[in-house]
Amino acid sequence: MEHRTKDGRLICRQAKVDAPIIPVLELPTCLKLRCLMGFWKQAIRHDITLARVMIPFAARLQYESARCAYAEKHRSKDIPERYRTGENPPKGWRLFVEILKLRGGLL
């Protein structure tokens, strides 16, 4: 979805962020100690995998929200085009730095 001014200038284009595929945790098949211990190991691995998948996804959503809010707030000013279009979003630790910049912490 795009936001434009009355004269047709682009204010902000909302980028599509695809939800990650979350692995499914399998329940134990019996109540023996071996089955329960296997379930607990699997649950710990599942939590670690879930954190590896969801933290970058949540950060990307925060970035898109902050980017659109920044573009809306500075609609009449000259800001970098990447904040208006959302193309080539940063990855890794640079994503967190950009969120801080857009929220007013580092600019």
Is 10 within the bounds of a domain? no
Is 1 within the bounds of a domain? no
Number of structural domains found in the chain: 1
Q: Which CA distances in Å does 47 have to 4, 33, 34, 61, 87?
A: 42, 21, 20, 20, 31
End-to-end CA distance of the chain: 27
Paired strand residues for 10: 4
Cα 28 to Cα 40: distance, rounded to the nearest angstrom? 9
Higher local confidence (pLDDT), 36 or 14: 36
| 75-80-81-84 Cα dihedral, nearest 10 degrees | -40
Place of tokens 């649950």: 43
Is 83 within the bounds of a domain? yes
Pairing mode, if any, of strands 10-13 and 2-4? antiparallel
Is 12 within the bounds of a domain? no
Is 63 within the bounds of a domain? yes
Cα 44 to Cα 42: distance, rounded to the nearest angstrom? 5
User: Is residue 76 scored above 90 in pLDDT?
Assistant: no
Q: What percent of the chain has pLDDT over 90?
A: 36
Q: Give residue 3's pLDDT band: very low, low, confident or very high (50, 70, 90).
A: confident
Q: Say how many CA atoms lie within 13 Å of 20 toward its Cβ.
A: 16
Is 15 within the bounds of a domain? no
Task: Print the domain residue range for 80.
Answer: 21-102
